[in-house]
Chain A
Amino acid sequence: MAALQPILKIEDLWVSVEGKDILKGVNLTINPGEVHAIMGRNGSGKSTLSYTLMGHPRYHINRGSILFKGEEIGDLTPDERAKKGLALAFQYPVAIPGVSVSNFLRASVKAVRGKEIPVKEFRQELKQQMALLEVKDEFLSRYINDGFSGGEKKRLEILQMTLLKPALAVLDETDSGLDIDALKVVSTGINTLATKETAILLITHYQRILNYVKPDFVHVFQSGQIVKTGGSELSEELEERGYDWVTQELTPSGVA
Chain B
Amino acid sequence: MAAELRQPQDTSDQFDQIRSIASDYKYGFKDKEDYVFKSGRGLTEEIVRSISAMKNEPEWMLKFRLRALDIFRKKPMPTWGNCQLLNDIDFDNIFYYIKPSEKGEKNWEEVPEGIKQTFDRLGIPEAERKFLAGVTAQYESEVVYHSIREDLEAQGVIFLDMDSGLREHEAIVREHFSTVIPSADNKFAALNSAVWSGGSFIWVPSGVKVEIPLQAYFRINAENMGQFERTLIIAEPGSYVHYIEGCTAPVYSTDSLHSAVVELIAKKGAHIRYTTIQNWSKNVYNLVTKRAVAHEDAKVEWIDGNLGSKLTMKYPAIYLVGQRAHGEVLSVALSGNDQHQDAGAKIIHAAPNTSSTIVSKSISKDGGRASYRGLIKVYPEAKNSKSSVRCDALLLDEASRSDTYPTMEVDEKEVTIEHEATVSKVGEEQLFYLMSRGLTEAEAKAMIVNGFFEPFTKELPLEYAVELNRLIQLEMEGSVG
A-side residues, CB < 8 A to B, are 54-58, 77-79, 81-83, 87-88, 90, 93-94, 96-100, 102-104, 106-108, 110-112, 116, 141, 143, 160, 164
Contact = CB atoms under 8 A, between A and B. Distances in A.
Residue among A83, A90, A107, A111 with the highest chain B CB neighbour number at 10 A: A107
A110 B12 contact: yes
B97 interface: no
6 contacts: A79-B435, A93-B433, A97-B451, A98-B450, A104-B434, A108-B434
Given A94-B429, A97-B451, A99-B448, A107 B443 contact: yes
Contacts of A100: 7-8
Residue among A87, A104, A112 with the highest chain B CB neighbour number at 10 A: A104
Given A87-B436, A143-B454, A160-B437, 12 more contacts: A81-B436, A88-B436, A97-B452, A99-B450, A100-B8, A102-B7, A103-B8, A104-B437, A110-B12, A111-B12, A141-B7, A164-B438
Contacts of A87: 436-437
A82 B433 CA distance: 11
Interface in B277-307: none
A96 B443 contact: no
Residue among B13, B427, B451 with the highest chain A CB neighbour number at 10 A: B451
Given A103-B9, A110-B12, A141-B8, A96 B434 contact: yes
B430 interface: yes
Contacts of B452: 97-98
Given A96-B451, A98-B452, A90 B438 contact: no
Contacts of A58: 428
B455 interface: yes
Given A94-B427, A103-B10, A83 B448 contact: no
Which 4 A-B pairs give the minimum distances between C-beta atoms? A98-B451, A98-B454, A111-B438, A107-B12
B393 to A, nearest CB: 14
Contacts of A110: 12
Contacts of A116: 13
Contacts of A141: 7-8
B423 to A, nearest CB: 15
A96 B9 CA distance: 15
Residue among A98, A104, A164 with the highest chain B CB neighbour number at 10 A: A98
B447 A96 contact: yes
Nearest to B457: A98
Contacts of B432: 54, 56-57, 78
B441 interface: yes
Given A96-B448, A97-B452, A108 B430 contact: no
Interface in B414-431: 427-430
Contacts of B436: 54-55, 78-79, 81-82, 87-88, 90
A17 to B, nearest CB: 13
A108 B450 contact: no
A93 B444 CA distance: 15
B443 A111 contact: yes
A77 B441 contact: yes
A98 B437 contact: no
A98 to B, nearest CB: 3
B433 A90 contact: yes
A81 B439 CA distance: 11
A106 B447 contact: no
B143 to A, nearest CB: 36
Nearest to B427: A94
Contacts of B95: none
Nearest to A116: B13
A102 B12 CA distance: 10
Contacts of B39: none
Residue among A90, A99, A112 with the highest chain B CB neighbour number at 10 A: A99
A158 to B, nearest CB: 14
Interface string B4-19: 0001111111010000
